[in-house]
Structure 1
Amino acid sequence: MLRILIIILNGLLISAAQATCETIRVNGEHNWFDVSFRENSQAPLQGLAVELANQVFADVGIKVDYQAMVPWKRQFLQLETGDLDLIIAAFYNQERGEKFIFSETIGVEYSSAFIRKDQALNYNDVTSLMGKRGLQILGSSFGDQFDSYAGQHLTISEMPDLDRALKLVALQRADYLLYATHGGRLKIANTEYADLLVDMQPSISRQLIYMVMSKSSPCVDHLQDINRAIRRYRDDF
């Protein structure tokens, strides 16, 4: 009986801490090199957005509780249901804007179509992607304008894993991969495809990056302080 009471009391203490935002439950994309990523499914989340989040919430006085890896789409579902407080880095689109609360901008990201170098002459702008086999990471968004264009004119399959997607392009089983320009370049430079793959220019989109918070999170009450800390530390992003 005593053991049951202790378990109940511990649960109440955890709920109380969350209700007053002493602790914030956080997650992020595990394929977004080098913004937020994991070396494997059991590895901790790391990257520039993690470093920024640690600085921001230490400044505000909120303990960060990084959650285990779950798929990107499921993280947004958890935000919607209140089972997650914050995604540390994400792009804005209209659907997300209607459901969640966005912080001040934490950074900017360009995205590109990554292709084989020997096919570069066949690409010059987004219209060059029509009729070709495209890939993107599961749950990716490149802004309302490009997403709308892609839905009407492009053939794009979603992949859960960045390494697998790069391999498919390298082996010519797909024609291009849509991915963050800077992160893609860094990732490819450390793979066997360094001399094989390149990003098409110009970029397909330029998007601002935000922290995204659940509307039901008690930490919403600290948004002003969080934004103030973001302004203080985002130059390090």
Structure 2
Amino acid sequence: MSLVLVSVLAVTPNGFAGTRSCDQIRINGSNVWFPISIRHEGAENLSGVFPDLAQKIFRSMQVDVAFGAEVPWKRVFVQLESGEIDMVAGAYHTKDRARNYVLSSPVIKEPVAIFVRADMTDRPGSLDELIGLQGLAPFGATFGEEFDNFAKEHLTINRQSFDDFSTNMELLVDGKADYLVIARHAGDMMLKDLGVEGQVEALPWPALENSLHYMFSKKSPCLKHISAFQKELEKRVEAGEAANMMKAFNTSTRGQE
């Protein structure tokens, strides 16, 4: 079992401060984070690497799963904090999240990219060279303390709340900003969906690479399942299942082009 889980469970031995029984695991996540967690138009359930892998693991444990309704990303963590849901299927590690929730061991590492217009002549070669430029990032997104603290102190990044995260990419294409900070796979998918692959591209260096985890509510009545979930998760990650699922999603998407 990971040290993260051991330390938190030691503080909450009974696992739940409320009255709801654990008849199923209630999961929510991002609606638009390809291929981590996505919700297709009109679909009730989430799909993607993290929701699909969680379902496989809980199915092997004979535990039922239910997905929460579509809500904004920041609202998902309000649900987790209150115990309205039991788990978030995929989120970056931060110190605050490690303190407030029960984190699984790392599942994958996801590079965060800086996207710029292809005709940009003086391209930034580091985070320091983003200083003075106008940036964009998804509303509510956090990429880890190191980048977030640097951005807060040195960068100008507009984080507006849009119904569709792709609006940020459209603003970049239209010249309303100099760069967009977003998870690499999600950004690549946006380029394909919008048909602007020749107009925008990721810089060759990542802004950072952060680990992605499942996150459990400390108020969940289902904390009793975490040890078994973690054991099965570690076995599957070590066997390469999560990495293979990432590749499969990307391959199937390329095949649809």
> Fold-level match, TM-score > 0.5?
yes
**Match 2:216 to one of 204, 213, 237:** 213
CA distance in structure 2 between the partners assigned to 1:145 and 1:120 by the alignment: 28
Q: Which has the larger radius of gyration?
A: 1
CA distance in structure 1 between the partners assigned to 2:80 and 2:216 by the alignment: 7
Q: Which runs of 4+ in 1 moved over 4 A?
A: none
Match of 2:198 in 1: 195
CA distance in structure 2 between the partners assigned to 1:31 and 1:181 by the alignment: 13
Name whichever of 118-127 and 80-89 sits farther off.
Answer: 118-127
Correspondence 1:80 to 2:74: no
CA distance in structure 2 between the partners assigned to 1:135 and 1:217 by the alignment: 35
Match of 1:128 in 2: 129
- TM-score, normalization: structure 1? 0.87
SS in structure 2 of the partner of residue 108 of structure 1: strand
- 1:108-155 deviations in Å (ceiling 9; x for gaps): 101011111111642211112111121111211111011000000111
Match of 1:204 in 2: 207
Does the Cα contact within 8 Å between 1:134 and 1:156 map onto a contact in 2? yes
Deviation at 1:236, TM superposition (A): 2.1
Match of 2:241 in 1: 236
Name whichever of 36-45 and 146-155 sits farther off.
Answer: 36-45
Deviation at 1:86, TM superposition (A): 0.5
CA distance in structure 2 between the partners assigned to 1:231 and 1:173 by the alignment: 43
Deviation at 1:42, TM superposition (A): 5.5
Structure (1/2) with the larger helix percentage: 1
SS in structure 2 of the partner of residue 119 of structure 1: coil
Alignment map for 1:1-237 (pairs within 5 Å): 19=21, 21-40=22-41, 44-119=45-120, 121-159=122-160, 160=162, 161-234=164-237, 235-237=240-242
CA distance in structure 2 between the partners assigned to 1:39 and 1:176 by the alignment: 27
Q: In structure 1, list runs of 5 or more residues that go unmatched.
A: 1-14
Does the Cα contact within 8 Å between 1:52 and 1:233 map onto a contact in 2? no
Deviation at 1:72, TM superposition (A): 0.9
Deviation at 1:172, TM superposition (A): 0.6
- 1:15-66 deviations in Å (ceiling 9; x for gaps): 98x51x2301100011211111123376532211121111111112211100
SS in structure 2 of the partner of residue 206 of structure 1: strand
Q: Percent identity?
A: 29
CA RMSD of aligned residues (A): 1.8
CA distance in structure 1 between the partners assigned to 2:121 and 2:70 by the alignment: 35
- TM-score, normalization: structure 2? 0.81
Count of residue pairs brought into register by the alignment: 221
Does the Cα contact within 8 Å between 1:91 and 1:141 map onto a contact in 2? yes
Does the Cα contact within 8 Å between 1:115 and 1:177 map onto a contact in 2? yes
- 1:144-188 deviations in Å (ceiling 9; x for gaps): 011000000111121432211110000111111111112322331
Does the Cα contact within 8 Å between 1:55 and 1:233 map onto a contact in 2? no
SS in structure 2 of the partner of residue 127 of structure 1: helix
CA distance in structure 2 between the partners assigned to 1:190 and 1:139 by the alignment: 22
CA distance in structure 2 between the partners assigned to 1:42 and 1:166 by the alignment: 24
CA distance in structure 1 between the partners assigned to 2:38 and 2:83 by the alignment: 23
Name whichever of 178-187 and 54-63 sits farther off.
Answer: 178-187
